[in-house]
Amino acid sequence: MKTIFLKSLALSLITLSLLSCKKEETQTVSNVSAAGTLTASATTLSLVQANGAKPALTLTFPAPTVTGYTIPVTSTLQFDLKGKNFAAPKEYVISNTSYSPTVNDFNNMMLALGGKIDTPTQLEVRLKSGAAANAITYSNVITITATPYLASAWIYAPGAYQGWDPTTADSLISLSSNGIYTGMIAYTAGNLEFKITPAKKWDVAYGDAGAGKISSSVGDNLKSPDAIVKQVTVDLNAKTIAFTTPNEWSIIGDATLGGWNNDTDMKVVNDGKSNNYSVKTTLTTGALKFRFKHDWTVNLGGSITALTNGGDNIAVTVPGTYTITLDVAAKKATMVKN
C-alpha cells in the first residue's frame, strides 16, 4: 500500500512539473507587430552641395510592439534604385523611429547605388522589421526622386606615360571626397613609372613604399604592372594603391594593332561624369568594332554616327594615327586622323 502511494505521489509530481513547463512555455511566446507604415517628409528632393550638412528628408515609422515575452526587434531601412526590387540594397539599422540623412550622405548613397551625376534618379525605400531571419516583415515602398551632384575631389598621377608633367597628368577621382580615388590610366611600353600628387605640382608626391603601400617620404617611383589601360585605386586614408584591369570599352579588328584577337583598350576621362571613351592609336586599312569587357556579348558597329548593337564592321580606308572617341550614351563615335 505504501509503495502504491509513493508511486502515485511521484506521478503527481511529474504531471505537475510538466504542467509547470507548459505554462512557462506559454509565457515565453512573443507576438511582434508587422512593419508599420513608412512615411517621408518629401519624395522629390533638391540636392544642393551648399546644403550638404542639412537633412535631405526625414523618414518615420511607428515603433514595433511586442506582447508576451519581450525580445529585441531590428528596424532596418533599405534603399535601392527603382526597378531593382531591393536585390542589393543599402541598409541602415535605425535605433529609433526616424532617419534624417544629410544631403551629402543621401547624395553619396545614390551614387553608390548607381545613380548618375546630373541625371534625375528614382530610389525606393522600405522598412524591414523583425526579430529573426524567418520572421521578417516589410513596410510599404516609397519612391524618392533626386538628382545626384558631383561632390568630388581629385589627385593626380604624373609619370613617364605623359612626360612627368603634373599640370597635364591624368587624375584619379573620389566621387564622395572620402579619401579613396580611382581612375583609368593608359600606360605605354617603357613608360610605366609615375607618382601620385595631391595637386598639380610637385610640392607633395607619393612614391612606392612596397607591398601595395605608398608614402610621401619615399623616393621610389610607383610602377604599373602592365603597359595597358589600368584601373588605379589610391586610398589616402590607408596609404595604399591597387591596379586592376577595367572591364570597359575597347576597339578590335584587323585595322587595329591587335587584329581580331586582341583588344585595344579605350579610357574614360576621370572626371566622374563623362561617359566618353577615347584612344589614340595607329590604324591600317581594314575594319574595326567597339566592344565591352573584351567580349562579343555587347558590341557596337554599323554607321559611326549611329552605332547599333551587333552592327556591321566599321571600315577604315585610310591608314594612319587616329584619335577615336566613343560616346556610349549617344551610341556614336568620331575618328579623327592626326
Q: What are the tens digits of pLDDT across the range 56-114?
A: 999 999 988 877 776 778 889 999 999 999 998 999 999 899 999 999 899 989 988 88
Q: Say whether both 186 and 104 belong to one domain.
A: no
Task: Read off the pLDDT band of 29 (50, 70, 90).
Answer: low
What are the beta bridge partners of residue 76? Answer: 93, 128
Confirm if 83 and 61 have CB atoms less than 8 A apart: no
Look at residue 222 and tell me if it is in a domain. Answer: yes
Q: Which three cell numbers stand for residue 330?
A: 549617344
Most confident listed range (23-32, 111-120, 190-199): 190-199
Look at residue 55 and tell me if it is in a domain. Answer: yes
Instruction: Tell me the mean pLDDT in the region 14-29.
Output: 47
Cα 27 from Cα 45, distance rounded (Å): 48
Task: Read off the pLDDT band of 272 (50, 70, 90).
Answer: low
Q: Say whether both 190 and 256 belong to one domain.
A: no
Last residue of a domain, one of 116, 146, 176: 146
Q: Say whether both 103 and 41 belong to one domain.
A: yes
pLDDT beyond 50 at 287: yes
Q: Which three cell numbers stand for residue 182?
A: 580611382
Q: Look up the domain containing 174 and give its range.
A: 153-244
Q: Say whether both 128 and 42 belong to one domain.
A: yes
Task: Read off the pLDDT band of 25 (50, 70, 90).
Answer: very low
Q: Say whether both 234 and 255 belong to one domain.
A: no
Q: Say whether both 162 and 137 belong to one domain.
A: no
Domain CATH for 315: 2.60.40.3620
Q: The pTM is what? A: 0.60
pLDDT for position 207: 97
Instruction: Tell me the mean pLDDT in the region 128-155.
Output: 87
Look at residue 7 and tell me if it is in a domain. Answer: no
Q: Say whether both 69 and 91 belong to one domain.
A: yes
Look at residue 8 and tell me if it is in a domain. Answer: no
Last residue of a domain, one of 244, 275, 291: 244
Strands 142-146 and 267-268: unpaired
Look at residue 231 and tell me if it is in a domain. Answer: yes
Please name the residue ranges forming H helices in 87-242: 103-113
Q: What are the tens digits of pLDDT across the range 214-259?
A: 999 987 999 999 998 999 999 999 999 999 988 889 999 999 999 9
Q: Say whether both 39 and 101 belong to one domain.
A: yes
CA angle 181, 183, 188 (to 5 degrees): 135
Last residue of a domain, one of 126, 146, 166: 146
Domain count across the chain: 3
pLDDT for position 30: 65
Look at residue 167 and tell me if it is in a domain. Answer: yes
Confirm if 246 and 229 have CB atoms less than 8 A apart: yes
pLDDT beyond 80 at 166: yes
Q: Say whether both 129 and 56 belong to one domain.
A: yes
pLDDT beyond 90 at 18: no
Q: Say whether both 87 and 59 belong to one domain.
A: yes
Look at residue 136 and tell me if it is in a domain. Answer: yes
Helix/strand/coil for 69: coil
